[in-house]
């Protein structure tokens, strides 16, 4: 998801993954699955298959962990500020954790096209020896929209074919 706004220095782009469910909805689904599993496991235990009980608990614990991990990864955000002098990128989960400020005239966005048609292209900011990947969580449509926004604001984009040793 891309949100476009104004900043005191220039343009501000807020990039975040598409998140279909809120944390509360994830918890509700997990509780519903726990209730359904409890009904089935209770019937199995009454039938004498008591060994199903610990494995159902392990399964629900793993499912809860997967829900938590997915919901946490959906909280990633990247902020790209395009000013006349610099490209400023901030990355973080819940708060700013990493920050780069690169001079705009000497920085380009490297666009590595995907080998597979369903895989979105990969983007990275490059300045001399600095290579900062960004917008890795965007889908193909959002990536194309980001590329057109960057072109509209005069950011240099350099297309590159995928390397032969990359498999995805």
pLDDT for 114:
76
Q: CB atoms < 10 A from the CB of 105, how many?
A: 10
Counting residues of the chain whose pLDDT is more than 70, the rounded percentage is 96
The percent of residues above 90 in pLDDT, for the chain, comes to 54
pLDDT at residue 164 greater than cutoff 80: no
Q: pLDDT tens for residues 116-143?
A: 777 788 899 999 888 999 998 988 889 8
Q: What is the mean pLDDT of residues 144-150?
A: 90
pTM: 0.77
Write out pLDDT tens, residues 81-97: 999 899 999 999 888 89
> Where do the structural domains in the chain lie, given as residue ranges?
23-73, 84-160
With beta carbons less than 8 A apart as the criterion, state whether 15 and 77 touch. yes
pLDDT class of 165 with cuts at 50, 70, 90 = low
**Mean of the per-residue pLDDT values of the chain:** 89
Contact by Cβ (8 Å): 85, 18 = no
Question: First vs last Cα of the chain: how many Å apart?
Answer: 22
Residue 86: left (phi > 0), alpha (psi -120 to 50), or beta? Answer: beta
CB 151 within 8 A of CB 157: yes
At 55, which helix (H) or strand (E)? helix 52-73
């Amino acid at each position: 998801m891309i949100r476009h706004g104004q900043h005191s220095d220039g343009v501000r782009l807020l990039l975040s993954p598409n998140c279909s469910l809120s944390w509360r909805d994830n918890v509700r689904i997990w509780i519903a699955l726990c209730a359904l599993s409890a009904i089935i496991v209770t019937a199995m235990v009454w039938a004498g298959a008591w060994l199903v009980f610990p494995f159902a608990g392990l399964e629900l614990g793993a499912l809860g962990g997967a829900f938590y991990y997915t919901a946490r990864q959906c909280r990633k955000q990247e902020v790209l500020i395009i000013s006349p002098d610099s490209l400023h990128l901030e990355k973080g989960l819940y708060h700013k954790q990493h920050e780069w400020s690169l001079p705009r005239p000497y920085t380009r966005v490297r666009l590595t096209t995907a080998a597979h048609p369903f895989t979105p292209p990969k983007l990275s900011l490059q300045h001399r020896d600095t290579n900062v990947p960004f917008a890795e969580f965007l889908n193909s449509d959002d990536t194309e929209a980001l590329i057109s926004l960057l072109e509209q604001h005069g950011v240099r984009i350099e297309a590159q074919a995928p390397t032969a040793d990359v498999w995805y």
